[in-house]
Structures are given as C-alpha cells and as structure tokens.
Structure 1
C-alpha cells in the first residue's frame, strides 16, 4: 500500500473515496463545507435528518455527490469539528474510516482530516494515526485456507489532503514512517497468526535470516542447542527439554549508526507453543498459546520497520525461542537448573517458562555492551487481570528509559503502564534450595515476573514489556494485533540522532 501527501482543491481530486469530518451538533469541517456548497446543502440536510449524528466512530458513505470528482464521499463523525477533540476520539474515527473504506472495496482514498484540531496533537501525529489505521485495517490472513482469495486487498493507495505546504511536509514525514511501521505490524501479525506446527523456533530463525539477506545493514546469527549448552544456557534449554523442536537463540545486528555507538537491544520471547509443560495448561483456549511468541514477532516486526526506515542507529534484535511441551525428558516442577549467569533457579512451575528463556538471553545481551535493553513478552496472565487488554505492562530499572517508552507509547497510541519493582516483591522469589524460584506465589504475578528478570539485567538499563493482554484478541475477531511494533518503532525513531 502506498501512502502520500498532496495539496490542491478537493473538488478536483479524482479518488474512489473522499473522507471528510462532521460533528455531533451538525457542524461540518472546512472540507465538508466545500462539498456541501457544491451539492446544494446535501451534507447539512443528512445531518439534520439524523442519517449520521456525528459521534466519533460513526460513518456514512455517499455515492455520486455533485460538484466533485470523487466517486464516493465518506462522512466521518469526530464528535466536534470546531474545537479540539480528544486523541481517543480521533483514533476511534480513524479506525472507523479504515473499516468503512475496506467494506466499500475502494482502491484508493483521500483523507481530508488533518485540519481537525486534536488535543496535544500536531499534524504529524494526526497523519500517522489516519495512515496506520488504514494500513492495519487493510490486513487479511488467509494463507492457510484452501479457498483463500486470489485477489489482493483492493485498497492500494491512501492520500492525505494537506491545506498548506507546511502541513504537507509534516504529512509526508508521517507517510514515510507509517508505511514502514505498518509493514512491521503486518510482519508481526502474520507470524503471530501462524500455528505452532508452521511457526517453530527454526522457522523464526529462517525468517530472521531472510530479513538479513534482504537488507545489507542487517546480519543474523543463530545459536542451536549445542552452542547454547556450551555457553551454559541451561535455563533456556530446560524449556525445550520435552519438545522435539530444538530451541534457538537468534540475534540480528543492525548497524546504521557510528561504530562506537552502543546498541539498543530488543529482546523477544519466542515460545512458539506453550502447553505449560508438565504444569499443563487447561485445554480451553490452549490453541491461543501459539501467540506466546508474539514478543519475538514484535521484534521481527520492529526490525523490519527499522530496516525500511534506515535509521542511523545500532540495534540488536534478539529472539529467545523454544517450544514448551510435556514429554519423557521434560523439566519437572522442583527441578533446579543453572542459568548462563551462574545463578541457580528452582523451577516450581514449568508454565512460568518465558522468564526462563529470557534470563539467559539477557545475560547473553551483556556482550553487546548495550545502551539499553527492552524485552517484550507475553509473560503473565496476571497482567491481563491488572490492565486488561488495552495497555501493556512495563517494569524497568531505569526511570529515564521507562519515560522514553511511555512517551513512545503515547505518540504511537500503543500505551504502556509502569508497575513498581522493589525489595518486598523480590522476597517472594526466595527459594529454600536455589538462588531464586521461577514464581513468586499468587500475588503480584506480573511484578514478580519482572523482578525475576531484573536479577539478570543488573549490568545495563533495562525495561520489560508484558504484552499478554495486548498481543492478540480472542473471540470472533481472534488474531494477532501486531502490538507493540508501533511503540518499539517510535522508541527507535525517538532514539535516532
């Protein structure tokens, strides 16, 4: 899909769908007023009749409107046109627009909404939200259906109509960024939606190698189980012990910055299927445990975006990948393993496996002398209890890093919420028989999981993102969301000199 910014008289713009804003009190945006004048008051009469009430998220598609070259006009409710609306209402409108355009089967669209005032938002932010919503809405996963569509999705181009050259410059920048971010989000969604018999640790390694082959700025290295055993990664290997699929530790080095610049490390949990191991999960909805590698998928997505943008940064994308299965050689509750760091771990629950693969990967990350490490993981069901499905959890040992990630979450509309981490929570991980237990009891499960990881991240600035509630949706619209690719991409954009 192509994103562009353009200027000019909207009446003369040929497009399959021209989108303008309307408000709850019958008000029309400047673009809508121009259309209304050429169509003898059609838009105002529809608002007065109640065909659309202008609430954020409402849409009404019109055909063959007089006075313009557009084939269709989509009226998009934004709650109010004359004063600033909330960012939440603008995002709601953007997503409703994307849905309506997709349902209409439009091959292109022209969005005239950048003049809509939004609280604490500039033209770049508004453009990014409109384009990302359009890009994310134009997604389909039917690769494994026997009757999959042979036709591509119809929407091929989305244009933003700017009212000035200065606004067009900001919109053009948003187009460039949004195009790469949407590409990364689609990559993450595709990987997340693949079932465990397709998306294995070795498959993730193949995808990482393929990305490196495509981009000269990227190299890839993959460690197999023999190499990890030689490094002492017995915590990571304890997770794959019951599976026929071998674990992999994948590193992708992007060298876009100066040689002396310390890299940012993005580390993703890649449990390609999580049965719980000997601590077997309940059968209901266990199929959704194919999504336990969405942290890894988000790293591959963010690295895709990074390569397409060509940012002047050094970044290492890491994936700690294994399949967690019961079997005659599987790790048992009560077993004790020695991590790469030398710390011993009592595994009280084999279903708390994500931290076991990540802790060895965090130790391995020390060799890159990182400026910061951000790990991303569908780590705890407790995070869903705490924050639901709207906001990802965050724990960090560095307030400045946490602030940067929070800010990136706000800009990208992919928010995080920082949770506490102190000595009282660390005590819950005490073990009678090893240096640390892999679970801390029923209370504060998300926090104690973060506290566990923090013990392996003492030599660098570190943040942990728990995306268990945001990486996928269940029910009729079940599927991977691609979060937090947008957040990670914004974090890298903000980190670039």
Structure 2
C-alpha cells in the first residue's frame, strides 16, 4: 500500500520526536516489540510503500510512523532496518524493515524466489535488533508470505549459547494480525527443523558422541511415537551386516559406533517405495592416521552435518504430518588416530563385497556411506538421497553459495532444484562423468581406491564417483554439503556458526514428493 508524504513542519516533527520517539525505557517484563515491513519504491515515485500490516499500524497511530520514517533518513533499502520507540502503547519498540521491490518473483540468475528470500532477510534483521534490545515478546508482520516471515524470525533469533553463562533473551516470535496462521506455523516448523540441525552441529564433540546423538534424536521423535520407529544398531549388529568399511573408520576411537535407523510412516497405505535419506554421521573427524592440521580442527565437531540434516528433516516431516514414508539412515562414529586405527594402504571390504584400498584415512565419510548406501537398497527406495560434509573440494568449487548435487536422475534433480528455489537454500548440479569413475576404480591393491589415482584434483567429483559404486537405485542423489556447513555472513538470516543447511530444502523436497499423485 502506498502512503503519500504529509506536509509536516520541521518544528512539529521535532516536538513529536521529543514527545513520542525518545521515551523512557520500560521494564523488560512489560516490553513488547513489533516488526513491520516497507517496500522499496521506484525512483520517480514519492511516498512510503507499506505492507498491509504496516499501513494499518500507521493509521492506528495517526500517521506517526510515516513521520518518523521521513525524518530518520533515506527510504529503507532491502535488508536495512530502523527501530522506533513509543509510537504505540501496545508496542513500545518497533522495528521497520526494508523488503526490497514489491512483486519480485523467481530470479533466474540467483536461482531462488527473491520475494521469499527478501522477507526472510528483513524479518530476521528486525527480530535480531529487538532481541538485542532485550525485548522478550515480538510480533511479526507476515509481509505477504507468512511462512517466509516465520522462517526468517525463527532462524534469525537462534544462537547457540548452551555453555555460556550469559545468554541472549529468549524470544518466541508471533504472527501479527490475522494472516495465514497455517502458513506461519509451517514456517516455524521449517525454521525449528534447521535450528535442530544447527544445535547438533554446534555442540562440542565430547557432548555429542555417536551414542548421545542417537539418544537425542530418539528423544526428539518421542511426540511422534505412533508414526516413527527408531532402531539404534550396536557394533555387534554392524559386524553381522559385514559393514567393513564403516567399521574401519570407527575402530580408532574409544566411542562405539551406532547405526541409527529411523522409519517415519506418514502414508500407511502407500504402494510407493519410501524416500530413503542417508546422512554422514562422523561426530568428530580428526582425520585418523592421516591427521588434519590443528588449525580449524574444532569445526570437525560438525562433520555429522549430513546426519543432523537428515534427522532434522524427518523430525520436521513428522511434525508436519507429511503423507509420505521416509526412512533415515545415519552411520555414527568418530574418526580418531590410535594403535587400532586404520592405516594408509590398508584394504577393507564393504557390505556389497567390494574391496577398498584406503590411501587416506581422512577420506572416511565415503567409507561409512558406502555401507549405508548398500543397506539402504534393501528398502527398495522410491528415491535415495544422501547428504554429507564430504570434501573440502566442494567448498573450493561452490563455497557457501549452494549445495553440490551429484545425481543419476533428471527426475530427482528437478525436484531437488524446485525445492531449493522455494527455500532459498540452493543446490547446483555437478558432473558424474566416467572420467571420474575410472580414477577410483583403477586401484593397485583393491577394487576401489578411496581417493583416486590423481589425488588433489576434482576431489568432490571423484568422491561422488566412489559413492556411485555402491548405488544401483535409478533415482539417487549425493549432496555434498561441506561448503554450506558454516555461515560467516553469507546468509543474512543466520548468525555466525554452523548453518544446518540444507534441512529446509530436504523438507520441501519431501513435501513435494508427498503431494505428487
């Protein structure tokens, strides 16, 4: 809605500012905040382009919001915000956020829905500012898309401070007005799902061991016990399944491995095969005997990002009651150096009988996934998707802009891509050429080599080619999420730290499959 400027004298604005803008602080228990949006107008347009909620608020305060925006600086650009005080007795603190141009849609260059993404960025900015002001209750303008507004609020307010004495004030955002409450709640669940993955990834490795990880996920599924069955497979079961590749990684650690298996039944009468999600679950990766440099090794507590995303996706699917059957598989272990650890040059045997020459013990994720992918085929999946913080080469190739996707299925790629456009958590297709397969199958001592004969080149591609040797499903995709594991300032609605990506994209993908006839 376009609100035209009113002619107001500078003296009158100054008097109003002193009276209503610069008010005395109120106690935190009575403080309540509101986030409202404004659109960016064209260069030749006068006026302020409010959202419906912001326009209604401006009318309720007799145009005072317009006046404040006039005197506080130039028109708000996308992702910028201003905070005002005392304009409304119910909302002593008000954050006005810039939404960019109204009516923008999917951007072919950026491969996302710009409108949704602008809302997430703007709302998160306003919520974070009010949280920093220790405002405990915040209502949020739906900004034309309640789900995106909820995602921005929930994701923006998250900060991992579990082990800090001084914590940020807890804020539970609420929808302002009578917009689409169902879409808002859906956005809350999407955001909380990604935040669950962020919490698991951020937690120190001594607090989230393979056993603790499995127990935590089991607890998260407790509200959905009528639809979810959990199996925490011990080492003896892993041995009975002849998962020699998985066991070769775990043997260097004192922590026992766990093979976590989750069955969500959202469509009991479905004749279709389940969606099977597989996540790499290395709860700490030292590199093993091929020890990593100490600098940055602390971040390897998040090398279970694939498992965190997969588990969080299924928790969210259960909360949304998606009409689809999903099976989640996450091999969980640590990769540590010890007298029992696998040595470079050792040969191990995977579940499907193929032998693997392990020339670098830091290329361990593909080993545990190899056995997990073999096992996943026993469920005759409709689609098989694995996620893993697999290679530093993926970070070199795409950075944090998108998740790299290697797939043998155009059908599956189209659905993953469509989901990522909606969530703004993008994917990008990578090649599965025979060129890379030959590099891992021409091994001196075994059927396969875990790093390929040209180590140091095309690492993400050869890793994907290695995994493909354990796949017979017609619709399989490997998501290398190493580049999107952390966030510095690339995604404005995520604070610095572990990102939990691409949880929302996987949820949206599952929801899309569930809605197909």
**TM-score normalised by length of structure 1:** 0.87
Contact 2:150 2:185 in 1 (8 A): no
Contact 1:302 1:488 in 2 (8 A): yes
1:349 Cα shift? Answer: 0.7
Tell me the equivalent position of 1:23: 40
Stretch deviating more after TM superposition (439-448 or 40-49): 40-49
Contact 2:120 2:151 in 1 (8 A): no
* Residues 220 and 470 (structure 1), Cα distance of their counterparts in 2 relative to 1, 3 Å cut: same
1:249 Cα shift? Answer: 0.9
Tell me the equivalent position of 2:446: 434
Tell me the equivalent position of 2:301: 290
Equivalences for 1:219-238 in 2 at 5 Å? 219-238=229-248
* Residues 101 and 329 (structure 1), Cα distance of their counterparts in 2 relative to 1, 3 Å cut: same
1:176 Cα shift? Answer: 2.8
Equivalent-residue separation in structure 2 for 1:148 and 1:50 (angstroms): 33
Question: Which runs of 5 or more residues in structure 2 are unaligned?
Answer: 1-30, 106-113
Stretch deviating more after TM superposition (173-182 or 322-331): 173-182
1:28 Cα shift? Answer: 2.5
**TM-score normalised by length of structure 2:** 0.84
Stretch deviating more after TM superposition (286-295 or 46-55): 46-55
Q: How many residues align?
A: 462
1:258 Cα shift? Answer: 2.7
The secondary structure found in structure 2 opposite 1:28 is strand
* Residues 385 and 201 (structure 1), Cα distance of their counterparts in 2 relative to 1, 3 Å cut: same
Tell me the equivalent position of 1:444: 458
Pairing partner for 1:58 from 80, 88, 96: 80
Stretch deviating more after TM superposition (178-187 or 468-477): 468-477
Pairing partner for 2:97 from 51, 76, 92: 76
Contact 2:244 2:349 in 1 (8 A): yes
Does 1:396 find its partner at 2:412? no
Contact 2:403 2:427 in 1 (8 A): yes
C-alpha distance after superposition, 1:3-27 (max 9, x if no partner): xxxxxxxxxxx96315131436553
The secondary structure found in structure 2 opposite 1:401 is helix
C-alpha distance after superposition, 1:102-161 (max 9, x if no partner): 22333333433534xxxxxxxxxx32221111011222322223x254x860x2242144
Equivalences for 1:5-44 in 2 at 5 Å? 16-23=33-40, 27-31=48-52, 32-36=54-58, 39=61, 41-44=63-66
Contact 2:119 2:143 in 1 (8 A): no
Equivalent-residue separation in structure 2 for 1:331 and 1:393 (angstroms): 29
C-alpha distance after superposition, 1:304-354 (max 9, x if no partner): 111211222111111111100111111111111110011111111110000
* Residues 209 and 402 (structure 1), Cα distance of their counterparts in 2 relative to 1, 3 Å cut: same
Question: Which runs of 5 or more residues in structure 1 are unaligned?
Answer: 1-13, 116-125, 163-167
Contact 2:204 2:301 in 1 (8 A): yes
* Residues 288 and 18 (structure 1), Cα distance of their counterparts in 2 relative to 1, 3 Å cut: closer
Tell me the equivalent position of 1:361: 372
1:385 Cα shift? Answer: 0.6
Equivalent-residue separation in structure 1 for 2:402 and 2:473 (angstroms): 28
The secondary structure found in structure 1 opposite 2:49 is coil
Pairing partner for 1:131 from 147, 150, 154: 150
C-alpha distance after superposition, 1:150-203 (max 9, x if no partner): x860x22421445xxxxx4xx233223222222222221111111111111111
* Residues 414 and 225 (structure 1), Cα distance of their counterparts in 2 relative to 1, 3 Å cut: same
1:294 Cα shift? Answer: 1.0
1:481 Cα shift? Answer: 1.4
* Residues 203 and 400 (structure 1), Cα distance of their counterparts in 2 relative to 1, 3 Å cut: same
Pairing partner for 2:201 from 192, 198, 212: 192
Does 1:92 find its partner at 2:92? no
The secondary structure found in structure 1 opposite 2:280 is strand
* Residues 35 and 202 (structure 1), Cα distance of their counterparts in 2 relative to 1, 3 Å cut: closer
Tell me the equivalent position of 2:478: 464
Equivalent-residue separation in structure 1 for 2:36 and 2:251 (angstroms): 55
Contact 2:214 2:232 in 1 (8 A): yes
Contact 1:114 1:160 in 2 (8 A): no
* Residues 226 and 22 (structure 1), Cα distance of their counterparts in 2 relative to 1, 3 Å cut: same
1:40 Cα shift? Answer: 5.8
C-alpha distance after superposition, 1:247-274 (max 9, x if no partner): 1111011112134431111111000100
Equivalent-residue separation in structure 2 for 1:275 and 1:237 (angstroms): 16
